[in-house]
Structure 1
Amino acid sequence: MKRRHLLVTAAASLPLLHAPQALAQSDKPIKLLVGFPPGGSIDTVARTIAEKMRVDLNQPVVIENKTGAGGRLAAELLKNAPADGTTLMITPVVVPVLAPLVFSKLPYNPATDFTPVGHVVNFNFGLAVKGDSPIKSVSEFVAWLKANPQKASFGSPAAGSLPHFFGLMLAREAKVDMVHISYNGGAPLQTAVLGDQVPAGIDVVFEFLQNHRAGKARIIATSGRARAKVLPDVPTFAEQGFPNIVGQGWFGLYAPPKTASAEVERVNKALNKALASPDVIEKFLSLGLETGGGSAADLSRIMEVDTNRWGPIVRASGFKAD
């Protein structure tokens, strides 16, 4: 996929016929689309910020779980929603960044069909081995891979996921060959790691956290520029001599295309206020999530940076989801 400039077209350049619609009225509820089932982390985040934002916006914020196609169904609904401030979507990085890299055809174009509103949370990935493994660092893992090329592999919760491509990033930077083994979710991956079916696994940190704390698994590195707040004693890849192995997952908040800038700013302000609440920060941290924030332009920059980060890795892998 070609690199994209993820910038919202200026309203002033649009013909009058396509001018942004009126701002949301306080008596109209906001539908917050979530493309994943109730009960998951993104659903919990959506409900938490909705409860806070409805007070600041002085209007109801109603969650609508539009599950299907890994979040792409909700994205298509957002694309076709009226730009009147009554529809929003919270979605993970996979929808605006990874899906365009791995699917040949999509029912949306994030560069033109989404209006960025704000960055909600970040989350780290972790490289984990079995708890009684002698491997305690990334360098030791790389040395083991080179000494055992016939066993050199890693597991991820799904083919085409960010943990999959993060493993390929590690292989590239460490100059080793690793076979990727895809599992059907985080739980089967953990079972494989704990059962010595695969030497290491890469997943969202929180998936390994309980077993790490119990000594059944050992997270030997995390993926952020700084240490994960839930794992302050575990060094990052960068701290261990791999400065180019950096990357996080995140959730972003979006509005339909051509939403008025004043409405975007109004919702962004409410989002940032919600994210600054101590109880929200604490709750998200309990889920392994770190609050984001900032402007709509900040979210656009994050999208562009991550498209440029993951694009070469995905293309080099030759992976396609369809």
Structure 2
Amino acid sequence: MTSHRRSFIACASRLALALSAVAGIGLAQAQSTTRILVGFPAGGGTDAVARILAERLQAELGNSVVVDNKAGAGGQLAAQALKAAAPDGHTLFLSHDHSVSILPLTMKNPGFDPAKDFVPVAGFATFVNAVALSGGTPARDFKAWVDGVKAAGGKATMGIPAPASTPQFAVQVIGKQFGLDLVAAPYRGSAPMMADMLGNTIPAGVGSVPDFIENNKAGKLRVAAVMGTQRQAALPDVPTFTELGIKGFEEVPYYGIFAPAGTPKASLDKLAVGVQKVIAQPDVKDKLTAMGLTVGYMSGAELGKREVAYREVWAKIIQASGYQPQ
């Protein structure tokens, strides 16, 4: 073998080893990245919550954590993506009640079954939905808005972040309670709904307090009523549905993190501990509280029980509304 050929073979071997090392690093990096699926567009309340947690979870998990927005169908696409993901602890789904508890009640075939396809990792907060008035709406509070709608013929449109969501049923109940002909206008998430509210395309909307809180502070819209039985710390002057005589919304929604069924217990435990540590950090808790969340840790088992109980309550409300699963 000539010296030139030996030199060529040696160089080729070194290049192959280098390429193999680079590929190995790339694979290791891909495997060490944790994705948090979010079923709504960037810019909405759920997306903001996910990004706060993702930033701090990186230190707790020891790897990169990214938010993956799979917006559409009220979180259905993200839920289906979680079902299809490998149960290796590197794909999570951060969701509130709608995607996990409500979609299975309002759709004949959502493409996932929470009880079979998901495993709850940890819950970290509860929140309430609210009625908000667009900046161009003359009414300054809920009663004035109701009176204004009646004076204008009793008809009004209210935006909702997703079809067949709890806000849609809230619109129906509010209309029945006050003798109004209210139409729920569904959007693909809270961000586009908020854009139309800020542009005064629609006069009012129903969504989560985290969706509305910043623009309420800025005076660009007005939160007029919150669901539940207790006033919110971030909105102490805003009356509750209970105060306004609107019943059936006492069970408040939750925020939780879910993993694909079959995820090893060791991975679930590591993730749960990470979530618990992150929400205990004072500045994280302050940020989430300022968004209108009531921060509190729930273990995977506790989150699972809450999800089932919440779904049972809403199954009765949806059935009573006459809504037929699509």
- Do these two structures clear the TM 0.5 threshold for a shared fold by scoring above it? yes
TM-score (norm 2): 0.73
Q: 1:130-279 maps to which residues of 2 (within 5 A)?
A: 133=138, 136-137=141-142, 150-157=153-160, 158-171=162-175, 174=177, 176=179, 178-182=181-185, 184=187, 185-187=192-194, 190=197, 198=203, 200-209=204-213, 212-213=216-217, 217-242=221-246, 244-279=248-283
The alignment's C-alpha RMSD in Å is 3.5
Instruction: Determine the C-alpha separation between the residues in 2 that align with 1:27 and 1:177.
Output: 53
Paired residue for 1:282, among 273, 286, 292?
Answer: 286
Is 1:67 paired with 2:74? Answer: no
Q: SS where residue 271 of structure 2 aligns?
A: helix
User: CA deviation digits over 1:161-215, x for unaligned, max 9?
Assistant: 321122223345x3745432315442365258x57x65x5322234444564566
Deviation at 1:98, TM superposition (A): 1.6
State which structure, 1 or 2, has the greater radius of gyration over its C-alpha atoms.
Answer: 2
Match of 1:18 in 2: none
Give the aligned residue type for 1:250.
Y
Change (3 A) 1:169 1:119: farther
Q: 1:84-99 maps to which residues of 2 (within 5 A)?
A: 84-99=88-103
Ranges in structure 2 where 5+ consecutive residues have no aligned partner: 1-27
Give the aligned residue type for 2:65.
V
Instruction: Determine the C-alpha separation between the residues in 1 that align with 2:215 and 2:54.
Output: 31
Q: SS where residue 302 of structure 1 aligns?
A: helix
Change (3 A) 1:179 1:276: same
Instruction: Determine the C-alpha separation between the residues in 1 that align with 2:59 and 2:312.
Output: 37
Deviation at 1:75, TM superposition (A): 2.0
CA contact (8 A) 1:154 1:202 kept: no
Deviation at 1:275, TM superposition (A): 0.8
CA contact (8 A) 1:121 1:290 kept: yes
Give the aligned residue type for 1:32.
R
Instruction: Determine the C-alpha separation between the residues in 2 that align with 1:233 and 1:94.
Output: 27
Change (3 A) 1:42 1:245: closer
Instruction: Determine the C-alpha separation between the residues in 1 that align with 2:138 and 2:87.
Output: 54
Q: SS where residue 238 of structure 1 aligns?
A: coil
Instruction: Determine the C-alpha separation between the residues in 1 that align with 2:96 and 2:30.
Output: 29
Richer in helix (by share): 2
Paired residue for 2:36, among 18, 33, 53?
Answer: 33
CA contact (8 A) 2:36 2:68 kept: yes
Q: 1:120-135 maps to which residues of 2 (within 5 A)?
A: 120-129=124-133, 133=138
Ranges in structure 1 where 5+ consecutive residues have no aligned partner: 1-24
Paired residue for 1:115, among 116, 119, 122?
Answer: 119
Change (3 A) 1:214 1:100: same
Give the aligned residue type for 1:98.
I
Instruction: Determine the C-alpha separation between the residues in 1 that align with 2:104 and 2:238.
Output: 33
| Equivalenced residues, count | 291
Deviation at 1:268, TM superposition (A): 1.2
Query: Which segment is superposed worse, 234-243 or 129-138?
Result: 129-138
Is 1:292 paired with 2:305? Answer: no
Change (3 A) 1:165 1:268: same
Change (3 A) 1:68 1:209: closer
- Give identity over the alignment, percent: 28
Instruction: Determine the C-alpha separation between the residues in 2 that align with 1:283 and 1:216.
Output: 20
Q: SS where residue 174 of structure 2 aligns?
A: helix
